[in-house]
Structure 1
Amino acid sequence: MTIEARIRELGNRHRSLDETIRQEMIHPASDSLRVRELKQQKLRLKEEITSLEARAH
């Protein structure tokens, strides 16, 4: 897999997590621990994307 393809894949997962977090926060009984874990996953993905983008240029 090329770096560009990996960046696209990670970007898709990042957007998916963003939507999952948004949906979770809509519910009045949202699980704050789950939301925090999802945000941490999203941050790790963003860091990996940034790292790959730096290597691609």
Structure 2
Amino acid sequence: MSDIPENGDGQNGEEEANEEAANEVLTPAMRLLDLQTKHRALDMKIAELHRFPYQNQILLQRLKKEKLRLKDAIERLKDEMIPDLNA
């Protein structure tokens, strides 16, 4: 049995907190910070994998693609947040 108390509808407190966080509306600035944090974490993970003599090349390639996807999302979000001065 779990140590996390259940609420009235059968969900435990942790599941309820996760649902509330998922339903929370993120501002563009909050979304940007979240993407940048994930990008930095992937960068650190990739650097850590490079230190091993026998890297998992498939995992490394997947992480690099995800990092690039995050970078593109960050740039798109920045473009949305900053108005085009030439327009």
Same fold (TM over 0.5): yes
Task: Structure 2 unaligned segments of length 5 or more: list them.
Answer: 1-25, 83-87
With a CA cutoff of 8 Å and minimum separation of 6, indicate the structure with the bigger relative contact order.
1
Supply the distance in 2 between the matched residues of 1:40 and 1:24 (Cα, whole angstroms).
15
In 2, distance between residues paired with 1:40 and 1:7?
19
> CA offsets per residue over residues 2-55 of structure 1, 9 Å max, x none?
001100000000000000000011001111111110000000000000000000
Aligned partner of 1:29 in structure 2 is: 54
The structure where helix makes up a greater share of residues is: 1
Match of 1:5 in 2: 30
Task: Tell me the equivalent position of 2:75.
Answer: 50
User: Any unmatched runs of 5+ in structure 1?
Assistant: none
Q: Among all aligned residue pairs of Structure 1 and Structure 2, give the percentage whose two residues are the same amino acid.
A: 32
